[in-house]
């Protein structure tokens, strides 16, 4: 337990010393709510069912955190540690591998949850969006989604050949996932053909789950998106275990 705590603190300090990574991990999503709100939020709009832009899109903003964390930050950070030899040196210490993985997961999970809560809080405080009456379920869904995308991130870290490849491919994947989140344009306003394509995006399913719970739907009516996230945890968690490496080939 002592090693876990010390390593968690070290990983957190390492993240805090990297301004670009810290911005995307913590600041990007709430800052985007603020910017888009000031630019596009002009009060109730018939295109959004009588709601304002932020009221219609706010539940989707936590999905931006998932996209950034899962396909970019986690793979790049992990591969950077591997390529620098830090993971190999850790392997030679008495520290157990599971301790490192648990500490890294903890730090990324806590940072991700802070960023998602901050994005929602900006909508509440800056634009007067009423918090959901189902907030506990919304945050539980956010945690489930974050775990699913952390599993994806570790699987990608084992598949990508280098940190450079993870950065290039990750940026492209992040953009695709962000577009399908509904944070920029409510998914319901998109053409039917585009919506069908978006159904293949895991972020779309997460957004559907959070939006449904936000609007008061029972979790039992949202089994498809829940199942998609659960399957991601199982499948990508297994792949991450298979492809995990302590050092470069």
Structure confidence by residue, pLDDT tens digits, 74-132: 999 889 888 888 778 877 777 776 788 888 999 999 999 999 999 999 999 999 898 89
Between residues 247 and 57, which one has the greater pLDDT?
57
List 51's β-bridge partners, or say none: 45
- pLDDT at residue 46 above 80? no
Q: Which residues contact 76 (CB under 8 A, 6 or more apart)?
A: 163, 166, 167, 170
For residue 185, CA distances in Å to 36, 49, 202, 210 come to 11, 13, 17, 16
Q: Is residue 79 in some structural domain?
A: yes
- What φ, ψ does residue 214 adopt, rounded to 5°? -60, -40
Dihedral class, residue 172 (left if φ above 0, else alpha if ψ from -120 to 50, else beta): alpha
Q: Is residue 193 in some structural domain?
A: yes
Q: How far apart are CA 121 and CA 133, in angstroms?
A: 14
Q: Is residue 14 in some structural domain?
A: yes
Q: Is residue 191 in some structural domain?
A: yes
Q: Is residue 249 in some structural domain?
A: no
Contact (Cβ atoms closer than 8 angstroms) between residue 241 and residue 159: no
Residue 174 CB neighbour total at 10 angstroms: 20
**Run of H or E residues at 3:** helix 2-16
For residue 12, which of 115, 143, 108, 149 has the smallest C-alpha distance? 108
Tens digits of residue pLDDT in 209-233: 999 999 999 999 999 999 999 999 9
Q: Is residue 204 in some structural domain?
A: yes
- pLDDT at residue 58 above 80? yes
Q: Is 230 exposed, middle or buried (0-12, 13-18, 19+ CB in 10 A)?
A: middle
- Mean per-residue pLDDT for 66-72? 91
- Exposed e or buried b for every residue in 30-44, given b needs 16+ CB within 10 A? bebbbebbeeebeee
Q: Percentage of the chain surpassing pLDDT 70?
A: 95
Q: Which residues contact 129 (CB under 8 A, 6 or more apart)?
A: 52, 54, 55, 58, 123
Full domain range(s) for residue 138: 2-243
Q: Is residue 248 in some structural domain?
A: no
Between residues 189 and 235, which one has the greater pLDDT?
235
Domain count, the chain: 1
């Amino acid at each position: 337990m002592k090693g876990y705590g010390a390593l968690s603190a070290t990983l957190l300090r390492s993240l805090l010393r990297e301004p670009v990574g810290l911005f995307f991990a913590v600041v990007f999503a709430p800052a985007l709510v603020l910017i888009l709100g000031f630019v596009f939020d002009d009060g109730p709009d018939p295109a959004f069912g009588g709601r304002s832009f932020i009221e219609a899109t706010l539940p989707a903003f936590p999905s931006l955190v998932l996209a950034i964390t899962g396909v970019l930050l986690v793979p790049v950070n992990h591969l950077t540690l591997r390529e620098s030899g830090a993971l190999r040196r850790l392997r030679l210490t008495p520290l157990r591998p599971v301790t490192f993985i648990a500490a890294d997961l903890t730090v990324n999970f806590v940072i991700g949850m802070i960023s998602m809560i901050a994005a929602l809080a900006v909508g509440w405080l800056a634009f007067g969006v009423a918090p959901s009456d189902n907030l506990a379920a919304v945050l539980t869904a956010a945690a489930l989604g974050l775990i699913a995308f952390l599993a994806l991130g570790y699987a990608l870290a084992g598949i990508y050949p280098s940190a450079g490849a993870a950065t290039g491919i990750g940026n492209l994947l992040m953009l695709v996932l962000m577009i399908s989140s509904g944070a920029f344009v409510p998914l319901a306003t998109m053409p039917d053909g585009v919506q069908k394509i978006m159904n293949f995006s895991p972020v779309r399913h997460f957004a559907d789950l959070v939006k449904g719970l936000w609007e008061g739907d029972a979790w039992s009516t949202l089994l498809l998106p829940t199942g998609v996230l659960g399957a991601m945890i199982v499948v990508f968690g297994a792949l991450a275990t298979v492809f995990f490496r302590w050092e470069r080939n």
